[in-house]
Structure 1
């Protein structure tokens, strides 16, 4: 008879064998300062992660406040620099209040676990991020997924919901694997007609979209339209962490009841100081966003000329959908040999038959790098066709 310890070993081995057979086994690249590849895989959309001004602000913050926050926000971990950052994020997004979380995943889990229960009805876009799906599961809330960006499908689902059940509609702002954007105005109108709250995770829009870099929601849609706004700090802003923005009642409720907020050590103060510097740069250097959007337009124009299979994206996320996981890995390896790191995205992250290269553009790139990447992609296409 197999022992319990052997049962665990068998379970792990079986899962590993299945993942390898499906072509989905993941590897962690280990980077150092001498990394030879040009990064077209990360989310550093404004090129701020390597900006020395952020590094200097983080070091100075650590000298003043210490390397770590020492405790949760509700004990002794909430420093004046955290308070200033929350105020600046509220101002950027046009909300009365903002609340810091350690990661975007924790922010989404915190909101959904706190607001929802088995009596709540949650409606999610089919392509939402895993953290949003997991948050609803954690809350044990009945959850329905509407067709991607399909407002008519959402409306039908809402109309069938009992009127005495609180309803929450949840969507990414920019969809991380496809790069397209939610119809924020359409979602807001639908929710207002149906009496539902709307939650938008604008992780990939903040800093990139909007007149002020305030994202695809930001100041264009107030809290009556988008009740709950989530943003992350580790993408376009180049630091780490996340926040939830909304009215005072929402933020107070999260402070009192959000377990991922209450029971987690606060973000290191130096990271908050670096993020404040990033917000200064976002405000003072709009040319970074301008350069990024020129790169997007140039890349899409040339990729279309080459016949590369792009999605309908006008954001820095530019997937090349190849369909087959083995083909995706071949292209990624060829691109690495040519000097480029790109994301090789396979199921279960995307649906079967939708494996892709996830190419991300940054203001830190220059025209020479973009031209060279496009040339390498064309070489992959021609080699496959031969």
Structure 2
């Protein structure tokens, strides 16, 4: 078999993706994927000049961004990134275990550990790498991992790569987890993994009940705080803060690219756990170290989170208000109880219809379709940030409701 035969066999897979994109983005006005947004640093507005035939160049209100704390353009964060580049350059000299570590990495890790109440922390190149690396370093053949049915893809991939047996339990259902653990092999390590805030639904894992179940069966509990840091808890410190507990999580990790406006991932825990991950987490050991600018920006943002808790309070209050307005109008927002608010449209095409109508009215709401969500639950994934004023929320709500009526999702 020569290379041309191999390409022929691959062609059907390439065609499937192409056909799906063309069906959802059937004309230029329906484009929603891989749009290069021109961001306004000081506001939640963005622009997409040249992307749409019907766009007149006016700024659009971004309602689907991840920068929960609104710090992406904050001058203090930008200056910290610049200072890191001035001191250390644009990159490092390799992986952390060799010549890639710089003092800024240790400063960032010490701040993460202190803020989150653990002995030590470890910074990865991404949240995805943190999940895959941590799972693979802790589990292998003979072990059992139990994951929530809608855990993030990075958790699923880490489980599959680990070689451990993987069992799923119903979403946010401690009773079902209890039965799964009862039926599982207890001869090896058993690790339960959940998201603290689910990125497409905006609901929160029932941490106290999960902890109780894990303790009953001698299982460890790992929680991904990607969409929780800066979002839930009185101080924005995640799920333990939310439930007013100090230590209910055995292994806690997250990202530096959501509430914290940089890139990277983190794990916090005991000194012995972090020491193990340094030598056994392959994405950490064999990937280039976190770039200085990202480490500097993340460190500055963490300090702002601690010193300005009013940002978190604003997010929580405005998210609750937006949900109430939308629900009163008849829009479905699922089980959301955080800054993440799904606007359920139903079909994939319906989600694209709704997104297109919203954009034409001046608001960006990005559609999420199958297989990322169930086929009948395609939605716009909305996120409230500290940069959204009450006026912005009112404007967005008005546009969402009007667009939903145009798309026959709610009664006129």
- For the criterion TM > 0.5, the same-fold answer is yes
Q: Match of 2:375, SS? A: coil
The structural deviation recorded for 1:98 is 0.5
The structural deviation recorded for 1:138 is 0.6
Q: Match of 2:209, SS? A: helix
The structural deviation recorded for 1:6 is 3.5
- Aligned partner of 2:16 in structure 1 is 15
Going from structure 1 to structure 2, the CA distance change for 1:232 and 1:218 (only over 3 Å counts) comes to farther
The structural deviation recorded for 1:93 is 1.0
Gaps of 5+ in 1: none
- Aligned partner of 1:123 in structure 2 is 146
- Aligned partner of 1:344 in structure 2 is 367
Alignment match of 1:32 (pick from 38, 58, 63): 38
Going from structure 1 to structure 2, the CA distance change for 1:67 and 1:138 (only over 3 Å counts) comes to same
Preserved CA contact (<8 Å) 1:322 1:328: yes
Preserved CA contact (<8 Å) 1:338 1:376: yes
The structural deviation recorded for 1:227 is 1.1
- Aligned partner of 1:188 in structure 2 is 211
- Aligned partner of 1:303 in structure 2 is 326
Residues 180-226 of structure 1: per-residue CA shift (max 9 Å, x gap): 00011111111111000110001000122123221113595455x31
**1:155-166 map, 5 Å:** 155-166=178-189
| Count of matched residue positions in the alignment of Structure 1 and Structure 2 | 385
Alignment partner of 1:290 is 2:313? yes
Structure 1 Cα separation of the partners of residues 104 and 241 of structure 2: 22
Residues 131-176 of structure 1: per-residue CA shift (max 9 Å, x gap): 0000000112110110001111100010112231211000001000
Preserved CA contact (<8 Å) 1:202 1:217: no
- Aligned partner of 1:265 in structure 2 is 288
Residues 243-262 of structure 1: per-residue CA shift (max 9 Å, x gap): 01111121111111111000
User: TM-score when scaled to structure 1?
Assistant: 0.95
Alignment match of 2:337 (pick from 309, 314, 325): 314
- Aligned partner of 2:382 in structure 1 is 359
**1:1-386 map, 5 Å:** 3-17=4-18, 19-20=20-21, 23=24, 27-33=33-39, 35=47, 36-217=59-240, 220-222=244-246, 225-385=248-408
Structure 2 Cα separation of the partners of residues 270 and 359 of structure 1: 28
Preserved CA contact (<8 Å) 1:173 1:216: yes
RMSD: 1.9
Structure 1 Cα separation of the partners of residues 258 and 196 of structure 2: 14
Higher relative contact order (CA 8 A, sep 6+): 1
Q: Match of 1:250, SS? A: helix
Structure 2 Cα separation of the partners of residues 270 and 381 of structure 1: 41
Q: Match of 2:382, SS? A: strand
Structure 1 Cα separation of the partners of residues 131 and 14 of structure 2: 32
Structure 2 Cα separation of the partners of residues 384 and 15 of structure 1: 27
Q: Match of 2:274, SS? A: helix
